[in-house]
Amino acid sequence: MTKLPKKILVTGFEPFDGDQENASGILLEWLKSKSFNFELRTELLPVSFTTAYPLLNKAIEEFNPTHVILTGLAKNRTELTLERIAINWVDARIPDNDGLTLKSQKIKEGSEDGLFTTLPIERMLNAAKGAGCPTKISTTAGEYVCNHLIYLYLSDYRFVAGTFIHIPGATEHEIFFQGISAILSDLA
Ligand code: PCA
């Protein structure tokens, strides 16, 4: 069997919550300035419950990736975190960038309570740590737009392997971007 050439879709988010920047959006520019031995597509997504997923969906249909790496900012975390699971629940503390606040409700009625991400995150953990990047596995992506996006993606795309990485809110991004770069290069 011939192996598919590696095609990785990496997404990041626009700034939100009054911030001037979002590390995950900056990541996309950083990645585009590097060269890799795989085909890379990046997609900057709005922090919107309504429009982020349709844009991701369009990018997946157009690019037909072998791997999907969704990223977002987790301001209060100090390590790169690899998300293991998305939950079928949304409870926003702040409005999204469209002014919409979804409170205490299921993302998809009649769908599973939780869905595991579909990339080998233990291997990814080792790759990032090998690059000197403080990294750990997380079992909650929160109850906001990031978890909402992962859940919708996982429920529609069981056979396009992907996961979500939260980037800390530190001002120095380089070590975290290096960790993500090591993860992308190591993906089989
Ligand atoms: N982080 C938010 C949404 C956009 C982002 O970068 C979250 O963790 O849900």
Pairing between strand 39-45 and 7-13? parallel
The answer to whether position 127 is within a domain reads: yes
The beta strands (E) that lie in 51-139 are given as 67-74, 80-83, 85-87, 114-116, 135-138
| 145 compared with 170, residue with greater pLDDT | 145
* Residue 188: band (very low, low, confident or very high) from pLDDT cuts 50, 70, 90: confident
Average pLDDT of the segment spanning 17-42: 97
* Residue 171: band (very low, low, confident or very high) from pLDDT cuts 50, 70, 90: confident
pLDDT for position 3 = 73
Q: Which domain holds residue 90?
A: 7-186
The answer to whether position 1 is within a domain reads: no
The answer to whether position 160 is within a domain reads: yes
Domain count, the chain: 1
Average pLDDT of the segment spanning 101-116: 98
99 Cα to the center of ligand 1, angstroms: 15
Query: What is the Cα Rg of the chain in Å?
Result: 15
Question: What atom of ligand 1 comes closest to residue 167's alpha carbon?
Answer: 6
* Residue 107: band (very low, low, confident or very high) from pLDDT cuts 50, 70, 90: very high
pLDDT for position 71 = 98
Degrees, nearest 5: CA angle 188-75-182: 20
pLDDT digits (tens, 9 = 90+) for 56-99: 999 999 999 999 999 999 999 999 999 999 999 999 999 999 99
pLDDT for position 34 = 97
The answer to whether position 71 is within a domain reads: yes
pLDDT for position 1 = 65
The answer to whether position 2 is within a domain reads: no
Question: What atom of ligand 1 comes closest to residue 24's alpha carbon?
Answer: 6
Q: Is the pTM higher than 0.85?
A: yes
Q: Could you tell me if the CB of 142 is within 6 A of ligand 1?
A: yes
Q: Could you tell me if the CB of 69 is within 6 A of ligand 1?
A: no
The answer to whether position 34 is within a domain reads: yes
Q: Could you tell me if the CB of 73 is within 6 A of ligand 1?
A: yes
> What is the pLDDT of the chain when averaged over all its residues?
97
The answer to whether position 17 is within a domain reads: yes
Tokens, residue 79: 């390590």
pLDDT over 80 (residue 4): no
Pairing between strand 85-87 and 114-116? antiparallel
Residue 3, φ and ψ in degrees, nearest 5: -85, 140
The answer to whether position 63 is within a domain reads: yes
The conformation of residue 6, written as its DSSP 8-state character, comes to P
For residues 136 and 125, the answer to whether their CB atoms sit within 8 Å is: yes
Nearest Cα residue to atom 8 of ligand 1: 146
Q: Could you tell me if the CB of 164 is within 6 A of ligand 1?
A: no
The CATH number given to whatever domain includes residue 160 is: 3.40.630.20
